[in-house]
Amino acid sequence: MSSLLDKIINNKIEEADSYNIRENGKTIKRKENEYIKIVNKEDSKGIDIYVKENTLFGIIDIPVIISESRIKDVVYNDFHIGKNANIIIVAGCGIHNIKHKTSEHDGIHRFYLGKNSKVRYVEKHYGEGSGNKVFNPITEAYLEEGSTLNIETVQIKGVDKTTRITKANLKENATLTINEKLYTEEKQYAKTDFIVNLNGENASAHVTSRSVATENSYQEFTSDVIGNNKSFAHISCDAIIKDNAQVKAIPTIYAKDASANLIHEAAIGKIAGQQLTKLMTLGLTLKEAEKMIIEGFLK
Amino acid sequence: MLELKNICFTKDNQEILKNINLKLLDDKFYVITGPNGSGKSTLAKIIMGIEKPTSGTVLFDNIDITNKTITERANMRIGFAFQQPAVFKGITVYDLLKISIKKDITKVEACNILSKVGLCALNYIDREVNSSLSGGELKRIELATILARKPVLSIFDEPEAGIDLWSFNNLIEVFKQLEEDSKGITLIISHQERILDIADKIILLENGMIKEVGDKSILKDIFSCPKGGELCE
Ligand SMILES: Nc1ncnc2c1ncn2[C@@H]1O[C@H](COP(=O)(O)OP(=O)(O)OP(=O)(O)O)[C@@H](O)[C@H]1O
Ligand SMILES: [Mg+2]
């Protein structure tokens, strides 16, 4: 299954400071070091990852692979990040399903970020084979004072159904950045939900979603941002729509404090004719021009 | 050689171009001028295939290209610089120059093309061609994508618009160079006297019709107009 692993993890897993590989519902390989400890939860329902205070530049890989059909894997991964630690977590889930039964992975990730810690969390979903592939990731994040969480998620084709829920609570001076990239085709269904509470003074959230919906696919983007204090949020949802696809964006911004500054931008539309024309005048065909515009958009 | 025969263009019951006949010869430098809304951009778009004429024929080197697509015309080495350049998301100046040239070029080669249009290349090469670029910057990148292609027929729609005076001198040099060593046809839409000065021939368009073709003397009424660039009735 190493090829599936390569599809979801960009770095070489052996070079990570620590890792935990889960295949078909069980941990099959693990590495720890003196700063990063991985502890099993009961009934192999998941893991607790403890990162010591002041750990610098740690890299943790936690790939999940499902290669058997008719698997429903529910996993709880809890990250306890010590004060001032600075780490990168690379999570990814690959489903290889060639049977007609559904394979499903529901990852529940909880992040507890200590004071002034910094986490970059990269997640990639990848599905292959004609069987039904379902992902339902839930992310919960608790950001202590001055901490920073940077989430990057990518899901390009291959996943039949996803409902993604991301919830975050931010204390003072905490920063949350989310970059989401999504491409759906065929009859795929993707729903994304962001619920962000800006509780502390100067907490800020920056959410950017770029998506392409093609053929008969459906996408729904909901964001619910509450400013409980002097805080800042910028939510931007930008979708290219084609064929018979449908895209729905439901923005909610709720300021409960007069000094909260919350911005929401949502745009759904087909590829601009002017962009296509320009690339065709440079010799690309209509198809090539479309491909270049979409690839650039999701880059 | 480019030949337009009886080109008419109607949109929303409005006659935008009325029976245009024009012959453009190789190695010559032409400027189309005329008041706003006279149909200059529309005519240029018809040559590039962006608009289809309601009737009439477009011949390029004796081949009827009236029904050819934009892509086919681009591959016959017709180039078009838009009056209002398109902006993208995630496509860089470098990406655009690479497809313009149709091969992988190094960043140094890309920089050389950009410096021709007066852009300090290293600052721009990796920038996205998006709306964060100023109007003048976009315009110059647009020019660079055409110059890079070395077209046999180059069309520039108001290339000087939005370009500051300092860079304008530089731009004139670019066009003078083009005029000197071009093996093909250059067609520029412009109102600028200094561009009109380089022209081998000036085509004056008014109300969707060619009013006159000739040297700068056909415009003497315009340049002596007390209202400035506007045409005096
Ligand atoms: N797609 C279109 N639909 C409707 N009307 C159009 C369209 N394109 C051009 N026109 C009209 O045709 C006329 C000529 O437009 P065109 O852009 O060719 O003028 P122009 O000479 O290039 O003007 P300018 O100097 O302002 O660039 C204008 O009245 C314009 O409103
Ligand atoms: Mg025009």
Domain boundaries, chain A: 2-272
Using CA atoms, how far apart are residues A15 and A18, in angstroms rounded to an integer?
8
Q: What is the pLDDT of residue A100?
A: 75
User: Residue B14: its pLDDT value, please?
Assistant: 94
Return the residue matching tokens 């996993």: A75
The finding on whether B40 has its CB within 6 A of some atom of ligand 1 is: yes
**Residue B115, H or E segment:** helix B107-116
Using the predicted structure, report yes or no on whether residue B233 has a pLDDT greater than 50: no
Whether B101 has its CB under 8 Å from any CB of chain A: the answer is no
CA distances to A22, A196, A206, B31 from A233, rounded to whole Å, are: 35, 9, 6, 51
Q: Whose CA is nearest to atom 5 of ligand 1?
A: B11
Higher pLDDT, B101 or A261: A261
Q: In chain B, what are the domain boundaries?
A: 2-223
B39 lines ligand 1 (CB under 6 A): yes
Angstroms from A26 CA to nearest CA on chain B: 39
H-run or E-run covering B110: helix B107-116
* b/e burial code for range A70-80 (CB count within 10 A of at least 16 → b): ebebebebbbb
Q: How many CA atoms lie within 13 A of A106 on its CB side?
A: 8
pLDDT at B56 over 70: yes
Q: Kindly determine whether residue B145 and residue A280, on different chains, have CB atoms separated by under 8 Å.
A: no
CATH classification of B2-223, choosing from 3.40.50.300, 3.40.190.10, 1.10.1740.10, 3.40.50.1370? 3.40.50.300
Report the residue of chain B nearest A238, measured CA to CA.
Answer: B89
A201-247 pLDDT, tens digit each: 999 999 999 999 999 999 999 999 999 999 999 999 999 999 999 99
Residues of B within 8 A of A286 (CB-CB) are 71
Q: Are A119 and A82 in contact (CB under 8 A)?
A: no
Determine the pLDDT at residue A177: 98
Q: In what order do the strands lie in the sheet with B63-64?
A: B14-24, B2-11, B55-60, B63-64
DSSP letter at B92 equals: B
What is the H or E stretch that residue B123 is in? Answer: helix B121-124
Count other Cβ atoms within 10 Å, centred on residue B168. 16
SS3 A71: coil
Tokens of B29: 């430098």
- Residues of A near B (Cβ–Cβ under 8 Å) read 210, 238, 272, 274-275, 277-286, 292-293, 295-299
The per-residue pLDDT for range A94-151, each reduced to its tens digit, is: 888 887 788 888 889 999 999 999 999 998 888 888 888 898 999 999 999 999 999 9
ipTM: 0.92
Instruction: Count residue pairs from A and B with Cβ separation < 8 A.
Output: 56
**Across chain B, what does the average pLDDT equal?**
89
Structure confidence by residue, pLDDT tens digits, B190-203: 998 889 988 999 99
Q: Which runs of E-coded beta strand occur in chain B?
A: 2-11, 14-24, 29-33, 55-60, 63-64, 78-81, 153-157, 185-189, 201-206, 209-214
Question: What is the structure's pLDDT at A122?
Answer: 93
- Tokens 């394979």, residue located: A103
Query: Please, which residues have CB within 8 angstroms of residue B31's CB and are 6 or more apart in sequence?
Result: B187, B188, B189, B190, B195, B196, B198, B199, B201, B202, B203
pLDDT higher than threshold 80 for residue B167: no
Residue pLDDT, tens place only, B108-129 = 888 888 888 878 778 889 999 9
Q: Looking at the predicted structure, is the pLDDT value of residue B232 above 70? A: no
B171 pLDDT tier (thresholds 50, 70, 90): confident
What residue of B is the nearest CA neighbor of A296?
Answer: B90
Chain B residues near residue A295 by CB distance under 8 angstroms: 90
Mutate to test the interface with B, among A181, A210, A281, A290 (most CBs of B within 10 A): A281
Is B86's Cβ below 8 Å from some Cβ in A? yes
Q: What is the pLDDT of residue A293?
A: 97
> Ligand 1 center to residue B44 CA distance, Å?
11
Q: Whose CA is nearest to atom 8 of ligand 1?
A: B42
* Beta-carbon separation of A292 and B91 below 8 A: yes
